[in-house]
A and B are shown apart, each in its own frame.
Chain A
Amino acid sequence: MRNWRLLVAAAALAGGGCILASGQILVSFGLENPLTVTNVTPVNRESIDLGTNSDYVEHKDNLESLADVALLGQITNNSASPVNVEVYFSATPTSFPTPDEVRAGAKKLWGPFPLAANETKIIRWDESAALIDDAARDALTAEVKADGVFTLYIIGTTGTFSFTVDNPVLVLVLDARV
């Protein structure tokens, strides 16, 4: 009986130690800068390989989940019409040529982020994190825990659109054992 109790105590300590040795690690991944997006096909896509990021590589094997996801940068609507910006995510390398095919074949990850005609805005971190789609975040988490190679598509919701993102950054906060 005494040995059984010791085993339970040891297991509890081991479990506690596991959650103690963890943290929330920020990884930022810069996208093409400046990133100019128009409705002209093929649509803009960003091939991401997190394996090129040393912070990600350091913590990848101990990654449990994503604590936070955001897309940041300064975004300018080059059009005289308002537009909503959206980002789609494909877990595998893909090359959908048109916005309609992106919407049909990829998962919506972020948005809509509204821009008035010719408006320039800095995407605030809190606001950006709130625009992440829960289901897509789960899929992104699975991909980040796998090989970290995926594709992002940035498009507008209107038929014609043109906008530029300066210093675009994908920000991931890894919930990882350390």
Chain B
Amino acid sequence: MPIDKDLLAILACPKCKGDIKPTEKGDGLVCQACKLMYPIKDDIPVMLIDEAVKLS
């Protein structure tokens, strides 16, 4: 289930509090500034810095 647009608008990157965008596959939420991807596991975004994936 893709994440709702309105919901995305109120969500912030846990690290910099900036905007986040869904990945093309819809398997995570990306903060370009921090180069971090917050995975979406089973429709549940994991909004924790400790569990974020570093992007190269």
- Are A and B part of the same complex? no
